[in-house]
Amino acid sequence: MKLPANKLIIVTGLLFLTACQTKEQPVSTSMNTKQKPESAIAKIAQKCWFQSGDKTFKACRMANEVSSFAGQPRFLLVPRKNPGGLPLLVVQAEQKGTATSGKFTNINAFGPLLQTADGKRILGDVNRWSRGETTCS
């Protein structure tokens, strides 16, 4: 069966669109806060996620990079058995704005851990902590 040229173009286009789609979309968050970039978010995460014995994070290790010379302090959650491996979660902060417009901190969280069943809770924790709250979920 031979398709007319216009239908062939449509069918080819649909095939390309289907091939480009993935089942899971990347999950991340970006929020602004008045906290300083070197805020206590990493300390709260350490307390709530690791010192509490939370099962979600047993296979992870926290790597703090809060003294960033690039002005983007962050912490990473990496595989416990492979601390040099790719991060499972990155939470980083960057100061933005000016003295005139008003300074604020932009906090970004991203990584494959957010695509797990606990991703929504993790994002909720980071959002809550970026607002200055210190409670664990």
pLDDT of 124 reads 93
**3-class secondary-structure state, position 20:** helix
pLDDT of 2 reads 58
What is the spatial distance between Cα 95 and Cα 107, in angstroms, rounded to a whole number?
9
- Cα diameter, the chain: 68
State the 10-residue block means of pLDDT for the chain, 137 residues long: 49 42 57 72 92 94 80 90 94 86 88 95 92 87
- What is the reported pTM? 0.74
**3-class secondary-structure state, position 19:** helix
pLDDT of 32 reads 80
pLDDT of 66 reads 73
* Contact indicator for 73, 38 with CB cutoff of 8 Å: yes
What is the spatial distance between Cα 60 and Cα 78, in angstroms, rounded to a whole number?
5
Domains and CATH numbers, the chain: 27-130 (3.30.310)
